[in-house]
Amino acid sequence: MNLLARAAPAIFVLLWSTGFVGSKLGAPYIDPMVFLTVRFVVVLPVLIVLALVLSKSWPKDFRAILHCIVTGMLVHGIYLGGVFWAIKQGMPAGTSSIIVGLQPVLTALIAVALLGESISRRHWLAMAIGAIGLAFVLGPKLDLAGSGITPVTIFVVLIAVAAISLGTVYQKRFVQQTDLMAATVWQYVGALFVTIPLSLTESWQITWSGELIFAMAWLVLVLSVGAILLLMLLIREGAVSQVASLFYLVPVATAVESYFLFGESLTPVQIGGMVLVISAVLTIRKRPAKR
């Protein structure tokens, strides 16, 4: 269990980063809210079965269930909805993950205000360095005409960042005592409260292809089950600001994956930015020496 706990952050980053690649892979064949609605409907029976087998208890208090639903609306519905919509509009997968990588700073600010977490100067400095590194990775893409990076797509992804940042803190504050698996089931119910109404504005014309089926299967099993449960576990076991710092690494992994899978650019400046990001996260997660 100790080995799993140590490996969990690295596994989470690797799995979470593939979500942007999966959404890019399926985007040509299905509208974004329809994509998410189908994904959540498919994953719910899987999670319910797992919860019936593994959960020690289900939340019986309406307030506890409501907290799980609100968390799901923020972390899955609004966050993923914003990211998937932006990618559907042509924003590169690597770029969307980079903007989402700004989450640690916003999450840390919310955690200080609502949870009273203490963040050291070293931590703030490392987050600033990480933000500079992200700017280096994002900068070369801003001048690309027709790249899908527009004020509207950037604004929508920023809303998504705010949603997952608030949802992460909300999860730590209000869903801490709820069984992990059972809470996740209710969170996906909350996500559907967001995606189903929005999907009704789309065409529901789905072109079933090998790429879409693979992307759907990957996002359901690997992301919606594996990565999300890891995220909830990390939030439960650690400080929110430290867990959020892992999102700095996600753009690095996604940019590399997009380079090999989609031919997206990867310049020396971007690589230098990645080095800064990795250094920042290692500094944030380094435990202070015992006196």
Of the pLDDT bands very low, low, confident and very high (cuts 50, 70, 90), residue 89 is: confident
Cβ contact 195:31 at 8 Å? no
Residue 2 maps to a domain: no
Q: Which residue has the higher pLDDT, 290 or 206?
A: 206
The reported pLDDT for the residue numbered 214 is 93
Determine the Cα–Cα distance for residues 161 and 82; give it in Å rounded to an integer. 9
Count of domains forming the chain: 1
Determine the Cα–Cα distance for residues 186 and 123; give it in Å rounded to an integer. 33
The reported pLDDT for the residue numbered 30 is 94
Which residue range is the domain that position 42 belongs to? 9-52+60-285
Residue 94 maps to a domain: yes
> CA dist 18 to 11, 22, 25, 26, 208, Å?
11, 6, 10, 12, 21
Q: What is the pLDDT of residues 211-254, one digit of tens each?
A: 999 999 999 988 888 888 787 777 776 655 566 666 667 777 77
Residue 3 maps to a domain: no
Determine the Cα–Cα distance for residues 147 and 142; give it in Å rounded to an integer. 8
Residue 4 maps to a domain: no
138: pLDDT strictly greater than 70: no
